[in-house]
């Protein structure tokens, strides 16, 4: 299983990080018109949107190579949640979420989306 690449500072991400937890619900409607909702899963999938600024060319290159490899292999990787430090081992890069722009000759910026694939 692959592990998310580190920056030259040793960090995995730059702040701020946008994190979202999704829950799936099912709803039952009764004869009398009443409704009841309940969670379908105990553990909810999570998403992180990572914004990187001021990356050097080698860091951008490593990040893009990692994302490209994950897309080709359709494999999972481990990602440490920057909010609570918990390692989530069933993550994938969100298709179409990788954006890179070069700000000058030495580096640039990137946005990457990650989603846990809990079923």
Q: DSSP alpha helices (H): ranges in the chain?
A: 57-73
Single pTM value for the model: 0.68
Phi-psi region of 82 (alpha: psi -120 to 50; beta: other; left: phi over 0): alpha
Q: Can you tell me the distance from the alpha carbon of 2 to that of 14, in angstroms, rounded to the nearest whole number?
A: 20
pLDDT per residue as tens digits for the range 33-78: 788 776 666 666 788 888 888 888 888 888 888 888 887 877 788 8
pLDDT per residue as tens digits for the range 81-115: 887 888 887 888 888 888 888 887 777 888 888 88
Q: Can you tell me the distance from the alpha carbon of 103 to that of 72, in angstroms, rounded to the nearest whole number?
A: 27
Strand 87-93 to 77-80 pairing:
antiparallel
**Domain boundaries, given as residue ranges, for the chain:** 2-116
């Amino acid at each position: 299983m692959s592990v998310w690449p580190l920056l030259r500072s040793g960090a995995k991400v730059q702040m701020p990080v946008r994190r979202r937890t999704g829950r799936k619900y099912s709803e039952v409607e009764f004869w009398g018109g009443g409704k009841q909702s309940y969670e379908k899963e105990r553990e909810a999938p999570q998403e992180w949107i990572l914004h990187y600024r001021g990356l050097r060319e080698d860091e951008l290159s490593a990040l893009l190579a990692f994302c490209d490899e994950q897309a080709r292999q359709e494999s999972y990787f481990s990602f440490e949640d920057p909010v609570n430090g918990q390692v989530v081992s069933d993550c994938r890069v969100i298709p179409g979420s990788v954006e890179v722009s070069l700000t000058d000759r030495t580096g640039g910026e990137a946005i990457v989306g990650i989603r846990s694939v809990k079923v």
